[in-house]
Amino acid sequence: MSERLDVLRLGYRKGRDPRITTHLALVARAMGADGFLLAGDEDKEMFENLKSVDSRFGGSLETEHVSGLGHLRRHVENGGTAIHLTMYGEPFRKAIPKIRRDKPVVIIVGGAKVPGDVYKLCQHNVAVGNQPHSEVAALALFMDAWFGESASERNFDGARLVIEGTNKGKVVHEIEEE
């Protein structure tokens, strides 16, 4: 049984960021996170949308609104591993083998302005290429490398709809409730 892994999005602005932040949460869910944590504005509607994805496609992504730096500080004080995705960091393929997996892990994704303390509190500042790009792309590439093949081949318990990947057309199995 592997340790818990959460993705923490900092500095969420409800008026500006819902679409990209929903995409972050969907990547976190699809690639194997246990939880998606939001710091900044609260957004119950987004959390409900994520629950509805679980109710159709299975799994149980936990969602929680947290204080960003406070949560991160406690996580590290309690012995957890904190990985900050930033273009200024160490290249991710070089960093991953050095990161502890025997403690709960939080992956931090920045918002509009990332406080300097985040860089200091996290044991790992990790880059997916040293150029600015998308937090969604950075998270997907990082999680794929972190979990390897199992990232995109997970079981999603309790699914009503199960997609069978195919070269042509759409194959979707509807699961009868017992």
Q: Which of 32, 40, 59, 110 binds ligand SAM (CB under 6 A)?
A: 110
Distances (CA, A) of 111 to 11, 50, 134, 175: 5, 20, 11, 38
Which part of the chain contacts ligand SAM (CB under 6 A), choosing from 32-40, 42-50, 56-64, 108-116?
A: 108-116
User: Is residue 24 a contact point for ligand SAM (CB under 6 A)?
Assistant: no
Count, residues near ligand SAM per rule CB under 6 A: 16
| DSSP letter string, 13-63 | -TTT-HHHHHHHHHHHHHHT-SEEEEEES--HHHHHHHHHHHHHH----EE
Site for ligand SAM in 48-77 (CB under 6 A): none
Residue 114 interacting with ligand SAM (CB under 6 A): yes
The rounded distance, in Å, linking the Cα atoms of 27 and 47 is 14
Among 51, 74, 133, 160, binds ligand SAM (CB under 6 A): 133
Q: In angstroms, rounded to a whole number, what is the distance separating the alpha carbons of residues 165 and 30?
A: 15
List the one residue out of 11, 82, 21, 70 whose CA is nearest residue 41: 11
| Closest distance to ligand SAM from the beta carbon of 131 (Å) | 6
**Interface residue with ligand SAM, options 7, 66, 138, 143 (CB under 6 A):** 138
Residues that bind ligand SAM (CB under 6 A): 85-87, 109-110, 112-114, 127-129, 131-133, 135, 138
